[in-house]
Each structure stands twice: as C-alpha cells, then as structure tokens.
Homo-oligomer: A and B are copies of this chain.
Amino acid sequence: MKKQVEDKKAALLEAALKLFTERGFHGTSTAQISKEAGVATGTLFNYFPTKEDLINALYFDVKEKLSRSMGKDVQAQKTYKEKLRKMWYNLVEWGIENQDQFLFVGQFCSSPYITSHTREVVMEEYVFFHDLAMEGLANGELGDYPPEMITSMFYQSSRTIVDYILYSEPQDKNKAIEDGFQVVWQGVSKK
C-alpha cells in the first residue's frame, strides 16, 4: 500500500514535470496531469491540495536531486581545482542526462508560481556550495570576488554549457564540457 502511494505520487510529479515544461503552468490543466499520470482527477488533490502545491513540490524535488548530484564525490578530490572540476562535471552531466528536469528548473526558477518559501527551503540545500566558494577565497585559490557572485557565475555557466551542448550539438561533448570548465576556472581563479 505504502508502495502504491509513492508510485502514484511519483507518477503525478513525473507527469507534471513533462507537461509544465512543454506547456507552462497555467497552460497545463490538472485534468491533463492526472490523465498523463494514469490516475483520477481527484487523486491529484489527495497528494497536492492545490496546483501550486504540486509545482512547488516538484520544484523542490528537482532542485534537491540536482543538489545531491552536484556535491557527489567533490570532497574526495585532492586539490581545490579538482573539487571545482568535479562539481562542474557533476552539474553539466546531470543536466545533459536529465534534460527534462534541467529545462524545468530553467523555466521555473524565476517564475511567479514558485513561492518564496520554496525558494528559501531549496536554498538550504546549497550551503555546501557557498562554503566551497568561501574555502577557495580563504586559501587564495579564487580571485577576490564576492562569494555569491562566484557561485552564481559558476552555476549559471554550467547551465549555459548544458544549453550549448543540447542546442548546438557539438561533435565532441566532452571537449565542450572541459572547455567550459577552463573558461570558468580562468575566470574565477586567482591569477
């Protein structure tokens, strides 16, 4: 029973992910989401009292997965540059392998349907990222820029490279990923 519950909830989130990205928030009806998920219209509202709750839960879900992928094996790297490189590859590879989630985040990160509460909760998942920037500033590996600026530039650049790879389809994706890292590292590291 518990299993089935999770199944339906996951199916609803998956359906919502696909449809919201394809057709937008108000462009997708709750009926369409239920149908795509293979459940009754009422079932959606058992799990998510309102449509807004649904998209906020979905946003949190996706951002959490992203944050987990992002941090994987980073602390195991020897040098600071290797830590950043690991994180870069985690980010870009996740984006390529999870296109739908990647596009969803891009489309809804500044959307009015995501509440400031959701944004705050999501933020907490990313403190380790901020800490890593602080570490680089403290040990002199990074140029003397505000940490929020560094993290933003790093994260947004990874999105830019994923977009570039998905849209321009370069022959050598790995080259593109490494090129991207070189640009960012040259940009933020201390000369």
Q: How many copies does the complex hold?
A: 2
- Which residues of A approach B to under 8 Å, CB–CB? 21-27, 103, 106-107, 110-113, 143, 145-146, 148-149, 152-153, 156-157, 159-161, 163-164, 168, 170, 176, 179-180, 182-184, 186-188, 191
Pairs A-B, 3 closest by C-beta atoms: A26-B26, A187-B187, A183-B187
Residue pair A112, B179 in contact (C-beta under 8 Å): no
What is the interface of chain A mostly: helix, strand, loop, or mixed? helix
Complex Cα gap A26–B11 (Å):
24
Complex Cα gap A183–B179 (Å):
15
Residue pair B176, A183 in contact (C-beta under 8 Å): no
Residue pair B148, A153 in contact (C-beta under 8 Å): no
Give the residues in chain B near A160, CB-CB below 8 Å: 152-153, 156-157
Given A183-B187, A187-B187, 5 new contacts (CB under 8 A): A23-B112, A24-B26, A152-B163, A153-B157, A156-B157
